[in-house]
Homo-oligomer: A and B are copies of this chain.
């Protein structure tokens, strides 16, 4: 339904997992310099953690989550949102199908993250910290190569094991364990000579808090997506403000 008075401008497909979406929501709030409530961007957040496991589906070559994701996109379009963010990197495996099903433009999280990397990073070697499904899908590696970056993923089995563990521990709400696993992954990145890493799973920013090694540039894909969405809504004329 379309409201007469209220219109949620940003639609969010979330709950994948819920803590990651709470983190994304918080980032959209912090991104707006507000004097009062009304300065903030109106949003509709669907937190629907029942959507089947994305990473597992990609690895099995299945599209099982797709009808659920399309339904979430439909619900947000029914509320007449202007743009949509999907607060889950792995779900972007189905970006093309979801975009085709959506009236509102879906902002791609990897475009947002790599745009941010491009602006802030002089080097050319970057690690992608992501689920195995996101890596198998390859949309980060493809965009990194197109933007001129050297990307070897996974760096090694110990690295991916640490990343997997950090993601799992956030989903379990075990934040101390998550931080330890994330710190181990950063250390392996550094040993491999990567001076930059992309937190390409929305659980990871929660794990990365306080454990980023000095001298390493860490791009938070959730934050990049939040900033890109807010910028787009505050300045709709700059549609392609994602430096690539």
Contact = CB atoms under 8 A, between A and B. Distances in A.
A37 B4 contact: no
B22 A29 contact: yes
Contacts of A19: 26, 29
A36 interface: yes
A71 B42 CA distance: 14
Interface string A191-207: 00000000000000000
A71 B171 contact: no
Which bucket holds chain A's interface residue count? 35 or more
Contact of A15 (B26, B40, B50, B67): B40
A45 interface: yes
Contacts of A53: 37
A53 B50 CA distance: 35
Interface in A41-83: 42-51, 53, 67-68, 71-72, 74-75, 78-79
A75 B5 CA distance: 11
Contacts of A172: 34-35
Contact of A78 (B1, B49, B68): B1
Nearest to A12: B45
A95 B78 CA distance: 26
15 contacts: A3-B71, A5-B67, A5-B71, A6-B50, A8-B46, A18-B37, A21-B25, A22-B22, A37-B49, A38-B49, A40-B47, A42-B46, A44-B46, A44-B75, A45-B45
A74 to B, nearest CB: 7
A80 to B, nearest CB: 10
Contacts of A25: 18, 21-22, 25, 45, 47
A40 B19 CA distance: 10
Given A3-B75, A30-B173, A42 B35 contact: no
A115 interface: no
Most buried by B among A22, A30, A171: A22
Contact of A44 (B40, B45, B68): B45
